[in-house]
Amino acid sequence: MDIQKNIKEVLAQLPPHVRLVAVSKFHPSEAIEAAYAAGQRIFGESKEQELNLKQEVLPKDIEWHFIGHLQTNKVKYIAPYIAMIDAVDSYKLLAEINKQAAKCGRVIPCLLEIHIAEEDTKYGFTFDSCRQMLDEGKWKELTNVAISGVMGMATNTDDEAEICKEFARLHDFFNELKNTYFNGIDTFKEISMGMSHDYQLAVREGSTMVRVGSKIFGERVY
């Protein structure tokens, strides 16, 4: 695996306004160091323990994104340093992040994970449950989180038309939320969509942030 070459290849395909989250889960710190040497600073992890171990030993200017399902009892361990929590899938989790962020004197950027795939194994708000949560309005009192946009994963399929349709729906939903709840709130701006096999489609459909793992680091060994 030539990690530096892979990073450069992916970056060359991204327009300048699209940011790359290099998904390093299940890969050792040495792999992250190689990507870091190529200039990469944003990394995504999905297990709190693994992330904590890496965060301790790796450079402190890395921006860590938590991209997996986060249990509420784990929030306190990452709250002091996490740059973004990409997959908030309940109001309960958002409230806990707010509480732990307040203890650290921080405001933590969060993305709302929206279920867009035709598979029901994945986490996330449905469009309706997300609207309902935002309509209730309690989130407005959570001053230590910054709801910064939406995140979604398309169906794992070779059907590009289906993938594009799902990404387009997420983009539409982002626009709806922006107009309805976040009008004039500049921090609400991210559409995180696209992984190794579909990030080019995601960029075409308006992604602002892609999360690419295996294309950079190789297959994960679980």
Contact pick of 27, 35, 68, 170 for ligand PLP (by CB under 6 A) = 68
Q: Considering the complex, what minimum distance in angstroms separates the CB of residue 25 from ligand PLP? A: 6
How far apart are the C-alpha atoms of 204 and 19, rounded to whole Å? 14
Distance (Å, rounded) from C-alpha 171 to C-alpha 208? 10
Q: Name the pairing type of β-strands 19-23 and 42-45.
A: parallel
CB closer to ligand PLP out of 144 and 156: 156
> With the CA atoms of 49, 52, 56 and 61 taken in that order, what torsion angle do they form, in degrees rounded to the nearest 10?
150
- Chain positions 146 to 205 lying near ligand PLP, rule: CB under 6 A, are 153, 195-196
Residue 111 engages ligand PLP in binding (rule: CB under 6 A): no
Determine phi and psi for 158, rounding to 5 degrees. Answer: -90, -5
Closest distance to ligand PLP from the beta carbon of 23 (Å): 4
For ligand PLP, the binding residue among 75, 79, 114, 212 (CB under 6 A) is 212
Q: How far is the CB of 34 from ligand PLP (least distance, A)?
A: 16
Q: Which is nearer to ligand PLP, 102 or 164 (by Cβ)?
A: 164
Using the rule CB under 6 A, give the single segment among 35-43, 91-99, 181-189, 211-219 that binds ligand PLP: 211-219
| Among 6, 24, 40, 46, interactor with ligand PLP by CB under 6 A | 46
DSSP code string of 94-122: HHHHHHHHHHTT--EEEEEEB--SS-SSS
CB of 215 to ligand PLP, least distance (A): 6
In single-letter form, the type of residue at position 122 comes to: K
65 binds ligand PLP (CB under 6 A): no
Pairing of strands 19-23, 209-212: parallel
Tally of residues, the chain = 222
Q: Measuring CA to CA, which residue among 185, 168, 171, 163 is closest to residue 118? A: 163
When asked if residue 67 is in the footprint of ligand PLP (CB under 6 A), the reply is yes
Contact set with ligand PLP (CB under 6 A): 23, 25, 46, 67-68, 153, 195-196, 211-215
